[in-house]
Each structure stands twice: as structure tokens, then as C-alpha cells.
Amino acid sequence: MSLRALRAACGGFLLAVLWFDLMFDVQVLGHGAAPSPLPDETLASIARYYARVTGGAHPMQVLVALVMATAVLASLWNVRRSPQAARAWITLLLVAAPVGLAAWRVVPNAMRLGTRSDSIVEQSRLARSIFADHVFCWLAIAIFTILQVTRRSSPGRSGPRAAAPR
């Protein structure tokens, strides 16, 4: 398997994980803007999901972290091989930013929301923050994945495959 294919597979996996997260996160929409609290049934649904995926789904969260690390390391290797290539640096940024955000803010917020130990207002803030972060992460990982499955055009080629001269 090529490194590009490995990065594409990691991107596809992470997009799927983010899609499932967003299926629960999207419940924050349509309930007014912050700081108005979300309905308790909405918070309960989102919190149950995050309690399950951050604590009760072991070892799956380890797999997600391993795929994230693999995507970042494969992108770092790509930069090492082509340090002058802007595409390599952009790819690294597109995967490292959401992975860093997940480690720094999303996972801790999801774990905290899963406990439901904060006030309704604070739980609402956490749920909205997780949703916004997941939208950013999904967009970044989608672009990362697209860059893995599209080829750079070479000089002298017009599109993905140049027609053979007749």
C-alpha cells in the first residue's frame, strides 16, 4: 500500500467517525443561540452518545487514536520526503489541526459532557462547542482525503490522463 493510499484510508475512516459524531451533534441546531440552554432530552441524547464513545466503547477509541496518529505520521513522512512541496505541507496542516483540536478540546469536552455533571447551561455550551469543532474537523479531513485521492497534474498533461497522440 502506498503512503498516499494509507493517508486516504485514514481520512475515509476519520470522516466516517466524524459523521457518526455529527449525527448526534446536529441536535444542537434549531434550539436558539448560546447562551440559551438546550432541552434536557437533547442534552441527554448527546451526552449518552459521548459517555458511550469516550468510556464504554473500549478499545474502539484506541483505534480512532491510532488512525489519527497514523494519518499525522504518514503526512509528516510525506513532508520529510518532499519538504519543498506546498501540497505536502497543506496536507499535514489539514490533518494535524483537527487531530490536535480533538486531543486538546473535543475529547475532553465530550468526556465532560458524557458525565452530565455540569449545569444545563454549561452542558449546552459544551454540546455546541463539540458540534462546531466537529464541523471544522470534518471539513479539514474531507479536504485532506480529497487531496489523497486526486493526482497532481504533471507538466505537459491536460487533465488526469492525457490522450495518446495519434
What are the Cα distances from residue 61, in Å, to 13, 51, 81, 131, 135? 13, 12, 30, 19, 19
CA distance to 85, 136, 153, per residue, from 81 (Å) = 9, 28, 19
pTM attached to this predicted model: 0.87
pLDDT of residue 33: 78
* Within a domain: 155: no
Domain count, the chain: 1
Q: Is 164 contained in some domain? A: no
- Is 85 a member of any domain? yes
Tell me, yes or no, whether 87 lies in a domain. yes
Q: Give the domain extent around 142.
A: 3-149
Each residue's pLDDT expressed in tens, for the chain with a length of 166 residues: 799 999 999 999 999 999 999 999 999 998 887 778 999 999 999 999 999 999 888 888 899 999 999 999 999 999 999 988 999 999 999 999 999 999 999 999 999 999 999 999 999 999 999 999 999 999 999 999 999 999 765 554 444 444 444 4
Confidence at residue 131, expressed as pLDDT on a 0 to 100 scale: 98
Residue 157 lies in a domain: no
Residue 163 lies in a domain: no
Give the pLDDT of residue 156: 47
- Is residue 156 in some structural domain? no
3-state secondary structure the chain: CCHHHHHHHHHHHHHHHHHHHHHHHHHHCCCCCCCCCCCHHHHHHHHHHHHHHHHHCCCHHHHHHHHHHHHHHHHHHHHHHCCCCHHHHHHHHHHHHHHHHHHHHHHHHHHHHHHCCCCHHHHHHHHHHHHHHHHHHHHHHHHHHHHHHCCCCCCCCCCCCCCCCC
The confidence score (pLDDT) of residue 122 equals 97
The pLDDT score that the predictor gives to residue 56 is 84
Residue 57 within a domain = yes
